[in-house]
Structures are given as C-alpha cells and as structure tokens.
Structure 1
Amino acid sequence: MNIFTNGRLLFALVLVCYSTFSWADLVTTIAKIKPSIVAVGSYHPTGSPRSVFSGTGFVVGDGSLVVTNYHVVPSDLNPAKREQLVIFVGRGSKPKVYDATVIASDRIHDLAVLKIKGVKLTPLRLGNDNAVQEGQSVAFTGYPIGAVLGLYAATHTGIISAITPIATPQISSTQLTPQMLKQLRKPYQVFQLDATAYPGNSGSPVYDTETGHVIGVINKVFIQGSREAAISNPSGISYAIPIRYAKALLQ
C-alpha cells in the first residue's frame, strides 16, 4: 500500500469519525433544543395583522420563564386597544399564543425575562460561560426572518471566533455614538461568532453542540450598533451576550 493509498484511507477514517460523532451529536441536541424555542411578539385583537413578531426567546427555570433580548420586547403596546405581550409556541402558520409579562429586565446587557401565563414548557439548561474558549463549536436556534414563512425554527452552527469587548475606542471622536460612549463607561466582554445571525434571531440561545447547555444569547442589533457604528457597510459578524448576565437576572 503506497503513501497515497494510506493518505486516502486516513482521510476516509477521519471523515467517517467526524460524520458519525459530531453531526450525530448535533442532530440529537437540536431535537432537544427546539421544544424550548419560542417567538416573542404582540397580539392585537382588532389589529391587522393581529400578531406581530419581534424576536426569539427560550424557556428556562421551571418552564414558565423566557429569556430574550430587552430590545425584542414591544415597548409601544396600548392597553386601551388590548394590545398584549405574548409568546408564540408551536410550528407553522398557526402557533399557540400565550400572554406574557416582563418580570425582570437589564438594559445594560439588553436582556429581559418574561413570565408565561397558562402553560409550562421544556426549559433549557444554562451552562458556564467562564469555560468558553475561542474555537469552540456552538450552535444557535431561532427565527432568522421572523414569521414571514411561518414559525419554523432554524439552526446555525459555527465557532466562538473571538471573546471581545462590547465596544472599542474609535480613531476619531466623531465616530463615537452615544450608545458606544455608554458602553465604554461600563465595558464587558461578548462572544463574536462566525455564524450568520439575522434580526429575527435576537434572543436565540447559543449552546454547546454536544451538551445543549446555553452559554450565550444572540444579539444582532444592540451589540452590532456598539461595535460597528463607524463602519459604512456593516459586516455580517454576529454577537452573543454571555449567559452569566441572564443568570444574574433570573436570580
């Protein structure tokens, strides 16, 4: 057997091991994650449309709590018109709708915890983001383009490409926005991902592909605005807020 045959055999063995181990684990993990993914939005009994999608959330705790981004929570609801914060549960164009209330919020880290009324769902386990390393394989599941095509949660995979400050000083003071200045006063680190997230993904859980433990929360708008405001053509870089801040909020 020559060196080329040996090389092909080794490559085949590596490919088989990778296919039967990593992807099989991810398939199993996604199946466990999906029942805990919900859509966050509002319901207007007399509106057109009645249901409005805002972003993604995921179930934690005793099954009646949802973690999402603060900016995902509708801020202009009109009680007089019976407009209500809700979560959408299920798959397809006719999900179940449940009322929800905000019970805790953290504007600095753009996080919110919602309390669901009338149902308890399967919660996700929260991991330890102190152990997260650059190069680690992760996935996130949510609704990248909202409810346009119905609620079909999609999963994106990638790695932690960098652990980086939420905002960085700019070359010129004219490039600094009020949001960037605020973040520079109270800096904290976030996870930069090489997977593509879209606005509807905001609030999606970022999790370890093998264990399914949540290590972060996708944030498409808030962090990108802090880091990339000086870029004339915003990049496709995605970011996530470490789960430690959601844990603190839950307490």
Structure 2
Amino acid sequence: MLDCGSAGANELADTVAKVKPSIVGIGTYQHTRTPPAVFRGTGFVVTDGLHVLTNAHVLPATVDPAKFESLAVFAADGKGQNARQAAVVAVDPDHDTALLRIGGTPLPALRFGDGGKVREGEEYAFTGFPIGVVLGLYPVTHRGIVSAISPIAIPQLNAKSLDPKMVHRLTTPYEIFQLDATAYPGNSGSPLYSIKTGEVVGILNKVFVQESKENLLERPSGISYAIPIKYAVDLIAK
C-alpha cells in the first residue's frame, strides 16, 4: 500500500532540491567593512538566469559607491557565498516588488505559475533565509496552506487608525495570499511555489503587508503573507 504521507514528503523533497539553487540573498557589499556583506532579505532567480525578483522594501534606501559599497546578490557556489554586484532594473512600490540584474554566469531560474488559480486550502512551500545568513548561506524551506485570499488592507471602523500608507492601499486594493506558516523578516522576497511543480505563485512579504493587515494588533501574529506573482510578471513585461 502506498503511504500518501511519504509520497507527499518525497514530492516536496524533490521540488526543494530543484528550487534551492535559484534562491539568493539580497544585501550590500563593501570590502572595507567588517563584515563586508550585509544581508537584507531573500530573492530568487528568474527569466534568463541573470535577473532576480525580491521585495522592494528589501532594497537599501541608499548605497555609497564613494566608499565602494554596492547592491549585491549572494549565491551559494559550493565553496561558500559568492557575492555578485547587482543593479536595479525596475521597482513597483504599490506591490512591493523589485527586479534586479546580476552579472556572471546565469543561475538556474524558477518558472512562474498561475497565481490566479491559487485556492484557499491548497498547500504551498517557500524557501529563503528566515534569520538571514547567521547560519550560513543555506536556504530554509517551510510549507503551509493558503488560509485566506484577502485584500491588502482592511477598512477600519475608526479614521484615527488610518495612516497615509493604508489610505493609499485602500484606494488601490488588490488581494494577497494569507498563509498559516510562519515567516520572518529575512524571508521577505522568498518565492511561494507549488509543491508539485516548483512554479512560483507568489512572493513572501512580511513587513509591507503586515503593517496594513495587523497595524492595530499590539502583538503581531505569526500569520504570513505573499503578493501574487502576476504583479512581478507585469513588472518584468514592462
């Protein structure tokens, strides 16, 4: 008799093995600094293997080229972390997505799925760096169900609860995926993907969404969120 649990675990294990080479760290690099690399979040390789998607809020506000500081993508090459200089190609602040370009040899790219077909109750996985690179450049995988598909911001009963960011998101609404798996700030920019195919249906987002959904909570919950991938696909198309 087939053990369905084992079959599902093997399926995820096979998919994770294919996804991990496409997961990268995002940060800055300055060889005169100690440590030279500063980690800010996660990204994943797309299209031709020389482009990387991440959250816009993961990008540093400024980079100081006068001090030889640069935006960087950190990829594992089997010998440790390999820092590649990166350039910002495009940013969509409304959907908190950013597209970067890197140099060097192309890396394995992930394929896009159809985020519009995601259903509540379906199980997905995400891979990234939940506590940065404290334990080394080793991507960590979590899985969980899509517990809800809900608006980016929830209307408030009291106008005093509104701030300019929330007002903007209420006037330009779109739906996001709510997950029952716990993500951490370092997971921002991680791909949310199908356990069966590895196709990406969303981008994990901890800060941007949480400040809209949970700003009234004294203690933010362990709920995680993802931006549907269609907005990143639109950004690439533009």
Scaled by the length of structure 1, the TM-score of the pair is 0.92
What is the match of residue 146 of structure 2?
160
> Which of residues 63, 66, 91 is equivalent to 2:49?
63
- Corresponding position: 1:221 with 2:211: no
Contact 1:177–1:229 at 8 Å: present in 2 too? no
Question: C-alpha separation between the residues in 1 aligned to 2:227 and 2:55?
Answer: 9
Question: C-alpha separation between the residues in 2 aligned to 1:18 and 1:170?
Answer: 44
- Corresponding position: 1:169 with 2:155: yes
Higher normalized strand content (fraction of residues)? 2
> For residue 58 of structure 2, what is the amino acid of its counterpart?
V
Distance 1:92 1:161, change over 3 A: farther
What is the match of residue 122 of structure 1?
108
SS in 2 for 1:197: coil
Contact 1:140–1:206 at 8 Å: present in 2 too? yes
SS in 2 for 1:28: helix
Question: C-alpha separation between the residues in 1 aligned to 2:39 and 2:105?
Answer: 20
- Corresponding position: 1:36 with 2:22: yes
Question: C-alpha separation between the residues in 2 aligned to 1:92 and 1:233?
Answer: 40
- Corresponding position: 1:54 with 2:33: no
Contact 1:128–1:244 at 8 Å: present in 2 too? yes
> For residue 154 of structure 2, what is the amino acid of its counterpart?
T
> For residue 235 of structure 1, what is the amino acid of its counterpart?
S
What is the match of residue 199 of structure 1?
185
Of 86-95 and 141-150, more deviation after overlay is shown by: 86-95
Q: Runs in 1 of length 4+ with deviation above 6 angstroms?
A: none
> For residue 55 of structure 1, what is the amino acid of its counterpart?
G
- Residue 69 of structure 1 deviates from its aligned partner by 0.2
Question: C-alpha separation between the residues in 1 aligned to 2:173 and 2:127?
Answer: 27
> For residue 190 of structure 1, what is the amino acid of its counterpart?
I
What is the match of residue 27 of structure 1?
13
> For residue 159 of structure 1, what is the amino acid of its counterpart?
I
What is the match of residue 101 of structure 1?
87
SS in 1 for 2:221: coil
Q: Which residues of 2 match residues 75-94 of structure 1 at below 5 A?
A: 75-90=61-76, 94=80
Question: C-alpha separation between the residues in 2 aligned to 1:218 and 1:86?
Answer: 20
State the structure with more CA Rg.
1
Question: C-alpha separation between the residues in 2 aligned to 1:48 and 1:100?
Answer: 20
Cα deviation 1:122-166 (Å, max 9, x = unaligned):
000000011110001100000000011211110001011000000
Scaled by the length of structure 2, the TM-score of the pair is 0.97
Of 213-222 and 72-81, more deviation after overlay is shown by: 72-81
Identity of aligned residues (%): 52
Question: C-alpha separation between the residues in 1 aligned to 2:9 and 2:29?
Answer: 38
Question: C-alpha separation between the residues in 2 aligned to 1:171 and 1:233?
Answer: 20
What is the match of residue 7 of structure 1?
none
- Residue 119 of structure 1 deviates from its aligned partner by 2.3
Question: C-alpha separation between the residues in 2 aligned to 1:59 and 1:80?
Answer: 28
Aligned residues between the structures? 237
Question: C-alpha separation between the residues in 1 aligned to 2:37 and 2:6?
Answer: 41
- Corresponding position: 1:238 with 2:224: yes
> For residue 123 of structure 1, what is the amino acid of its counterpart?
A
